[in-house]
Structure 1
Amino acid sequence: MYRLRYEAYRREEFVPINGDEVVRDEFDDLPNAYCYGVYIDGELVSSVRFHHLTPEFRTSPSYSVFPDILGPILDAGATILDPGRFTADYEASLAYPALPYLTLRLPTVAVQYFNVRYVLSTVRREHAAFYRRVYRSEQLGEERLYHGLSFPMVLMACDIPVMYEDMLRRYPFFRSTPDERQHLFGKHGRAPLSLIKSSARQAQPDAERV
């Protein structure tokens, strides 16, 4: 996954060349970090990472950049999911136009397991429209420089009680079962992604209709 990140970021010259050809940071090994790869036909095609923020444990990439905005939300008792490091293999992204939806299904499914109030999207400005459309996300903060990247990112968030059921109606492949969520995120979870990878081709027609 770290090499896939590197290849994706280098393709756009978002990170400098490094001899290890990986992109890894201090946030990967945190106890509230979840890193996943998505496979199609045995090949790693995309990856995503997210952090679960609570009032007691606030460490995440977005919080470190926007503490003045996210701090009061956590002070009020809310919990947050902070996805990031969303990267995809170039050839796979051409072959599977629905790959972004399939990959983002992981943090979307995690919303129910962790019972969070907000999901963040810290993204480039040109990607903001996608998150407004899919998640009904709203912008919370102006662009700021983000860890190790050569471009600024904008902070967006969606209010789960307001948008989640509507999103599931529009994107039914985001639905999940309690058993799947437990296998993915439970104490004995983080199971093989055979639980979710089979929906790649199924997701594509639905995603293109919406």
Structure 2
Amino acid sequence: MAILDEIEYRRNDGGEDLEAIYRLRYKSFRRHGLLLSESADERMVDELDEAPNCYKFGVFMNNHLVSTIRLHHLTKEMPYAPSMTVFSDILQPRLDRGESFIDPSRLSIDPDLTTSFRVLPYITLRLAFIGVIHFNTSGCISMIREEHTGFYARSFDSISLCEPRLYPPFTMPIFLYETRTDHSLQLSLERFPFFASTASERRMLFDQPKRGELAPLTILPTAKYLKAAA
């Protein structure tokens, strides 16, 4: 909870911050040996970054970009997400029945900070949890490497939906895991109180500004205020 005092979230659709996010993705994935090929411009970006249901976030500590995540709000009307390129046969029937999901991807932590700030993956994944609440989705879908399956199962009560599959350009099979809202929402809040958020924070992170309004440059985490009120 204390580190939230140093954290700012920024939703990015363009400009220097977005370029920094693309470069951090590349740096993190290359450092961990997850990409098959090099990129001359050292950026990691694809067509799903421009999907209408895509939300790209940078996490800043003391005005320095330390991590990033991309979220897709997956619905029957907008079935655009990384998971649908590999696991559409699993997910499309559920979308057709009216379910919806948050699909987090491109989770990247500055590799120079991973040993100093081990809480950063949680601080970053907090955005996916907030998205689940804001959009009232059925659950959160995660495509993860085998070595991360235990973390997701222990931390978020996630379950495997099928056998792993290949997902180019990555170098290993990818697992599809789901955290169900109806089963695990309250459990996650009890386990990680800093995942809590106010309605105002959720709106600033995900809602489009009304006509004549400017989008907020930065959004501060609000969990500490809810804890103080309690």
Please, what TM-score do these two structures have when normalized by structure 1? 0.90
Unaligned ranges ≥5, structure 1: 200-210
Does the CA contact (< 8 Å) of 1:6 and 1:21 recur in 2?
yes
| CA deviation vs aligned residue, 1:15-74 (integer Å, no higher than 9, x gap) | 211111000011001000011010111110100001011112111110110011001111
Does the CA contact (< 8 Å) of 2:197 and 2:221 recur in 1?
no
Aligned pair partner of 1:191 in 198, 216, 227: 216
Alpha-carbon distance in 1 for matches of 2:160, 2:39? 33
Aligned to 1:78: 99
Cα offset, 1:143, TM superposition: 1.1
Aligned residues: 199
Structure 1 residue 9 and structure 2 residue 29: aligned? yes
One-letter amino acid of the counterpart of residue 165, structure 1: Q
Unaligned ranges ≥5, structure 2: 1-20, 225-230
Aligned to 1:38: 59
Of 10-19 and 159-168, deviating more is 10-19
Does the CA contact (< 8 Å) of 2:197 and 2:222 recur in 1?
no
Does the CA contact (< 8 Å) of 2:58 and 2:69 recur in 1?
yes
SS at 1:196 equivalent? coil
Taking a change above 3 Å as real, the CA distance of residues 108 and 148 of structure 1, as seen in their structure-2 partners, is same
Equivalences for residues 195-210 of structure 1 within 5 A: 195-196=220-221
Cα offset, 1:198, TM superposition: 9.8
Please, what TM-score do these two structures have when normalized by structure 2? 0.82
Does the CA contact (< 8 Å) of 1:141 and 1:154 recur in 2?
yes
CA RMSD of aligned residues (A): 1.7
Does the CA contact (< 8 Å) of 2:71 and 2:104 recur in 1?
yes
Does the CA contact (< 8 Å) of 1:140 and 1:156 recur in 2?
yes
Alpha-carbon distance in 2 for matches of 1:126, 1:47? 20
